[in-house]
Structure 1
Amino acid sequence: MVFFDDALGLALTIAALAYLVFAMLRPERF
């Protein structure tokens, strides 16, 4: 699922994962 295409792709993947984790940890803010 996770592909390391380039620096931009890697940054977007990390950002997306971090956002999902934050959303799960803080459902009241989501």
Structure 2
Amino acid sequence: DSLTGLADDQSITYGMVEGRDGRASAGELKLAD
């Protein structure tokens, strides 16, 4: 899934690096931002 995340959105990359659950939080943050 990490490869897919990179292709879909690089912004999610930092979230995945921090933690697997972080990707979910990163997604919400992106929408909020």
- The structure whose Rg is larger is 1
Normalized per residue, the structure richer in helix is 2
Tell me: higher relative CO, structure 1 or 2? Use CA pairs within 8 A at least 6 residues apart: 2
